[in-house]
Amino acid sequence: MSSRTSEYRGTYGHHQQSFSVTARYKLVFWLAVGLFSLLSLMPRADAQSAECAPFGGSEPQSYPCEHTFVISAYYSPLPDQSVYFTGSYASDIRLNGNGTNGADGTEVYPGMIAAPPAIPFGTKMVVPGIGTVAVHDRGGAIKGNRLDVWMGQGEEGLARALSWGKRSVRVVVLGKGSPAEESVELGSLSLASLSHLSKKVSATPAASVAPQYESLKLGESGDRVRELQYFLKSLSYFDAEPTGYFGQQTFDAVMRLQFDRGIVDDPEDDGAGVFGPQTRSAFDSVLAEQKAEELADLPTGTYVLGASGEAVLSIQRTMNRLGYTVPETGLFGPETERMIRRFQINEGVITNSADFGSGVFGPKTGAALKSALSQRWTLATQLVASANSGSTARFATQMKLDDSSPAVRQLQLFLRDLNFLRLEPTGHYGKSTEHAVFKFQQAFGLVGDETSPGAGIVGPLTMARLNDLAGSQGSQQLQIVKTTDSHVLVGERIQQERVFVALTEPLAFSDSLKAGARGDEVEKLQSLLKSLGFFPGRVTTDYFGEVTYDSLVSFQRSHGLEPTGVVDQPTRRTFEKIASGS
């Protein structure tokens, strides 16, 4: 090969190599530019949207944005269901609506969202656990950061709604007009058991079950007014103690309810401040919504002393709703344990503080709490609605352990007035009510001890005595009973109690015997309180626990003593009077 040829080929190869390198660099450069441009147009998978501006506020909303909503579930009841959430088709309709179309006319479908008016119809959202959904409905209780999701019809829809319950969820709001397609994914949501729900009461459509009741208005008084005040207070419309008199405060509370529900727009409107048919219907809906919210608030699982978190806070809220006062701290401390134990004993979950599960929130206690909440709200509408029967007797029905009715609640209110019962009225005749009835019977000489026939049962003789006190002919005696520090009443009670105490040795207690103490003195104290009808335990022990404390406080209240829960000097003197006969 000649040197020219070799030189030529070498030069050509060099130029070819230079061109290849330059082309590669250019190609890589333009590919990088193109890829960067493409990526800049695509949403980053790990990028977080900005927090949504307040809905309905003056600040413009930019989409997509994120917001934490509390999302509950609802469904459409059918007339042929075997069970209903609130006990009947009619009340489930009041709670959930008729279930055919959303507020904007859209036919209902699983995953459809009900949102506050500040969020426009058609707004699309990405809800974890549900999918990409849109707003097509409203609801009376859907305000602020609340959403509702429709879960279906009939028992399957109810089971799915119960499985979802109420959750706090971080939602991506895509806005109205978003091109995102709706995609609902409920397959992973298991169906909850319906076995704990009551069998249906009626499958009658709601339009035919609402009878017309007498209206309540300014200047009226009686038990119905008092019950109305009690539940208005539970719903935060009434902030005074129920009195049974329909005064200005009750008038204002009813009017606030009417304003909230759009029944009246002005205080001068006809029916403003009057609890009539329209207001009662709205009241029923509010009660049903409140009941659903409270039942959904109660957690599942097991919680013991030392636990903490949102679930414990929910348990504490429930205890307070039922009258078992406990600080709402989110920490399962000794006071929460004590109140749960008291509830368990009152409702028959355990028999005494030594039983397995005492003071523990588990499945049985959770079921009992749900039952108590259901009774509380189911009876509410019956209590306010029940028209006066025309009878002058307040108590006309025999009552016993495990009964549930408006009459039981009326009995509990009356016994609480007389200082025989300390718990909030629930309408359920539990062991606490049975014991209060027994103490009432014992105080008025109707029974001897807990083994006497009729003890703890509201029978004819007990009803007659209750009606005597409640009637006008017994008004003076009622005032004596209400005044617990009356020397006459206390003296009569001590005289009656002497026959129940049979001592084999002198009665003597050390100074300031109180909770936490142990020993023979505690067992003697329990035996004494048991013989007097104040200690509900089946057996006595040597430990001064919450049951002993509650029993001692009840004794002190009924004898005009300061309810210290300590065997102090005034309490010892009263014990000595009972024991000595002097």
Output the DSSP codes for 12-50. Answer: HHHHHHHHHHHHHHHHHHHHHHHHHHHHHHSPPTTPPPE
Q: Residue 3 has what pLDDT?
A: 41
- Alpha-helical (H) ranges within 84-213 are 89-96, 154-164
CA–CA distance, 56 with 119 (Å, rounded to integer): 7
Q: Is the dihedral of CA 88, 361, 553, 460 positive or negative?
A: positive
Cβ burial, residue 17 (10 Å; 0-12/13-18/19+): exposed
Count the helix, strand and coil residues of the chain and give each as a percent rounded to the nearest 5: 45, 10, 45
If one counts every other C-beta atom within 10 angstroms of the C-beta of residue 188, the result is 7
52-67 pLDDT, tens digit per residue, is 988 878 888 889 999 9
Token pair 């989409």: residue: 63
Q: Closest Cα to residue 83, out of 155, 3, 169?
A: 155
The pLDDT > 90 percentage for the chain reads: 11
CA distance 407 to 441: 18
State yes or no: cis peptide before 64, omega within 30 of 0.
yes
Q: For residue range 79-128, list pLDDT tens digits in order.
A: 778 877 766 666 566 566 656 777 788 888 888 998 988 899 999 999 99
Buried b (16+ CB within 10 A) or exposed e, 549-568: bbbbbbbbbbbbbebebbbb
pLDDT for 157: 85
Q: Residues 359, 349: contact at Cβ < 8 Å?
A: no
State the pLDDT at residue 42: 44
**Weakly modelled stretches of the chain, pLDDT under 70:** 1-48, 86-99, 140-141, 187-188, 192-214, 223, 375-394, 419, 422-424, 468-507, 512, 533, 536-539, 580-582
Element (H, E) at 299: none
Residues 381, 255, 96: CA angle, nearest 5 degrees: 45
Beta strand extents in 154-224 (DSSP E only): 166-176, 183-184
